[in-house]
Structure 1
Amino acid sequence: MFRFFNRVRTVVSSELNALLNKAEDPGKMLDQFILDMEKDIADVEAAVAKQIANEKILSKQYAEAADLVAKREEQAIKALQSGDEDLARRVLEDKNKQQAQAQSLDLLVEEATKLSEELKEKLREMKDELRDMKMKKDSLKARSESAKARAKVNRTMSGVGTGAKAGFERMEEKVMHHEAQAEASEELRSANKSLDDELALLDRTSSVDDELAALKAKLEKK
């Protein structure tokens, strides 16, 4: 029985420590562990109840044996008073037998009572451990949820930051490319315009020269 309690305490410690190193969801694992612990305690409670019942049975047997010893004492006295010494002798022999039995039962009751108290104390310790575990479970679950939320936010923020920055830089390069294209187009348009202006001016100059020559010829004829 004591080995069983020690095993339970060992399982409590080892499972809790191993839990933190596992990849499973700590919240679900903690809930399952609490259920397993409660089942173990229920089994131990049944064992304690059985031991207490055994203690009561031994106590009852001891009381019956002690009463029989006292009864045989009275019967031996009556036998002597009636002059039947042989009967008194046989009654005393049975009294001694019952007294030895009562003494053995008394020792068994004492041991059973001591064991019952020890088992009840161990059971109280297990219940205290379970209560502490439940308190730690709530704290660990809250910490686990906070850690998962923080990690999720960090991953999201990291992804958003990287994607946004890359996209922003890409758009900036695209705008700069468009601006360069616009500047090149403007320069080409300006160059073409200047050439067209010179050609137009040349056309206008040629027209004026022709008109001037025509007037000169007209004057000469006159």
Structure 2
Amino acid sequence: MSFFKRIFGWMSAETNAALDSLEDPIKMTDQGIRDLKKDLDESLQGLAQVKAISIRTRKEYEQHRQAAGDWERKAVLLLQKASSGQIDAADADRLATEALSKKEQAVQAAATHEKMVNQNDGQVAKMEQNVQRLKSQISQWENEAKTLKARAKVSEASSKINKQLASIDSTSTVSMLERMKNKVEEQEALAESYGEIADSNVSIDEEINKAIGPGAGSSSLALEELKEKMKLGAGKSDSTSASATNEGQSDLDKLKEQLKDK
């Protein structure tokens, strides 16, 4: 049938690489199934029409066959009435002959309609077989189309993920991480630079306190008190001996000597 030729042609076109590059195969598949459903509707309409003709032909066949039997019974009845003297024998023969002629016509018409009924039944059976086959094929192709659509979605999603993974290089994530690393190193270097500048601005008092450690303020006070004691002690001692001993000594040397005596 024409729709089978069309589906084979469509399947051939579907495998054509040029067609695949121009149109979406999924959309083409859906359109092909819609076309098949349209052919199925037309086939169902044709099947209904052929069935209607077959039904009408069968009824006419039954009517002609019944008419043939009726004309035969009428001819028999005429002959019986002529035999019983109810009607004239010549009229009975004439009428019975006409009845038998009508019977023959009905028999011939019944035979013609019987052939038509057989032909129609054969066409109906063949069309029903083709329609059922087309229904089965459409159902199978719809299921396959659903499966292929689902596979297409999965493959598309996998392709996107793989493409994203494959595109990770120096121009994307790695590059951003390198820029972030350089930025952090610049910030760390800048912080260290500021720290060195801050250390260079420390006063001598802060440097001494830092070297002495905690309690530097109290140690400085004790040192001043110690210096005062040393001055007082130096005034009370023998001036000659002290002069000879301390002449040419700095405060630091004097402090060291004092610490040795203690």
TMscore range, shorter length? 0.5 to 0.7
Q: Distance in 2 between matches of 1:41 and 1:15?
A: 21
Q: Distance in 1 between matches of 2:129 and 2:152?
A: 34
Distance 1:38 1:6, change over 3 A: closer
Distance 1:95 1:166, change over 3 A: same
Alignment of 1:1-150 (within 5 A): 3-11=1-9, 13-14=11-12, 17-18=15-16, 21-81=20-80, 82=82, 83=89, 84-150=92-158
Moved more, 19-28 or 92-101: 19-28
Distance 1:97 1:26, change over 3 A: same
Are 1:5 and 1:122, in contact at CA under 8 Å, matched by a contact in 2? Answer: no
Distance 1:160 1:128, change over 3 A: same
Are 1:26 and 1:144, in contact at CA under 8 Å, matched by a contact in 2? Answer: no
Distance 1:127 1:53, change over 3 A: same
TM-score for the superposition, normalised by structure 1: 0.68
Q: Distance in 2 between matches of 1:117 and 1:67?
A: 27
Q: Distance in 2 between matches of 1:68 and 1:147?
A: 72
Distance 1:89 1:137, change over 3 A: same
Amino acid across the alignment from 1:98: A
Moved more, 115-124 or 92-101: 92-101
Measured against aligned partners, the alpha-carbon deviations of 1:92-139 in whole angstroms (never above 9, x if no partner) come to: 111111111110100110010011011001100000001101110111
| Structure 1 unmatched ranges of 5 or more | 183-222
User: Offset of 1:27 from its aligned partner?
Assistant: 3.5
Are 2:14 and 2:25, in contact at CA under 8 Å, matched by a contact in 1? Answer: no
Q: How many residues align?
A: 177
Higher helix share: 1
Are 1:61 and 1:105, in contact at CA under 8 Å, matched by a contact in 2? Answer: yes
Distance 1:12 1:51, change over 3 A: farther
Max radius of gyration: which structure?
A: 2
Are 2:47 and 2:127, in contact at CA under 8 Å, matched by a contact in 1? Answer: yes
Q: Distance in 2 between matches of 1:111 and 1:129?
A: 27
Amino acid across the alignment from 1:73: E
Are 1:58 and 1:108, in contact at CA under 8 Å, matched by a contact in 2? Answer: yes
| RMSD of aligned alpha carbons | 3.1
Q: Distance in 2 between matches of 1:8 and 1:54?
A: 28
SS in 2 for 1:163: coil
User: Offset of 1:171 from its aligned partner?
Assistant: 5.0
Q: Which has the higher contact order (CA 8 A, sep 6+)?
A: 1
Are 1:54 and 1:112, in contact at CA under 8 Å, matched by a contact in 2? Answer: yes
Aligned to 1:157: 165
Q: Distance in 1 between matches of 2:98 and 2:164?
A: 96
TM-score for the superposition, normalised by structure 2: 0.58
User: Offset of 1:144 from its aligned partner?
Assistant: 1.3
